[in-house]
Every structure is written in structure tokens, then in C-alpha cells.
Amino acid sequence: MTGFLLRWLFAFVLLAATYNPTPYNFIRWVQQNGTETLSIAVLGGLLLVIGYIIYLRATLRSIGPLGMILVLALVGAGLWVAFDLGWINFENPTVNTWIALVTLSLVLGVGLSWSHVRRRLSGQADMDDVDE
């Protein structure tokens, strides 16, 4: 469980570092300072792209597009229940952005963790494709 929480937390930090409703994110920083510090903006952008490639590749390989849709549907159904019970509302755009960040980070966290979950449930390990 700790492993999943760490993978989810890193996914959330990756997404929130890219964009969030506060002024502290990469997109806004580049809009305000990107021309003055272009080299730092490029370096930061490349680091974010590397993080996205790692997460997206692992997620696509472990659960695939259908699995991503299923996780999104599950989270969406949970949000629907929370809305129907009056626990949340979707009138505040800032809250909606945070909900979207949590939702997307859950998809990436599940995708990165799925091989570990599958191994524990089935006792079978996943192997990467070998070209040789």
C-alpha cells in the first residue's frame, strides 16, 4: 500500500507541478518568466516530459487504454456518488481543477502500480518484451 501511495503521490506532484489553480506551477511560471530564463524553462519542461513518458508508458503497458478508461470510469462513478450524496459540488472551478488532478494522478498511479498488484494477486510476474 505504501508503494502505491508513493507512486500516486509522485504522479500527483508531476501533474500539479505542470498545472494547478495556484500561481505556483510550470505553465504559469513559463508564461511570466520563460523568455527571461529560457534555458531553465527548457530544462524544466524536459524534466516534466520525461516524467510523463515514464508514467504514461508504464500505464499504457500495464493497464492499456481500456484499463485507463475503466479507472477513469470508476473514479467518475465515485465522484457521481459523492455529488449525489451532497459531499461535493462542481460549482467551484478551482475545486474542479484539483479533482481533475487527483483523478488523473490516480489513473497514472494505478497504471504504474498495476504490475505489483497483479503479481501479488496472481503470483505471476510481468516481463518486458525482449527484442533479441
pLDDT at 87: 94
What sign has the CA pseudo-torsion 56, 61, 66, 68?
A: negative
- Report if residue 94 sits inside a domain: yes
- Report if residue 131 sits inside a domain: no
- Report if residue 129 sits inside a domain: no
Domain that holds residue 109: 2-122
Residue 69 has pLDDT above 70, yes or no: yes
What sign has the CA pseudo-torsion 93, 104, 24, 3?
A: positive
pTM given for the model: 0.80
**115: its cell numbers:** 504490475
**Overall number of domains in the chain:** 1
Q: What is the mean pLDDT of the chain?
A: 88
pLDDT at 125: 60
- CA–CA separation, 113 vs 63, rounded Å? 10
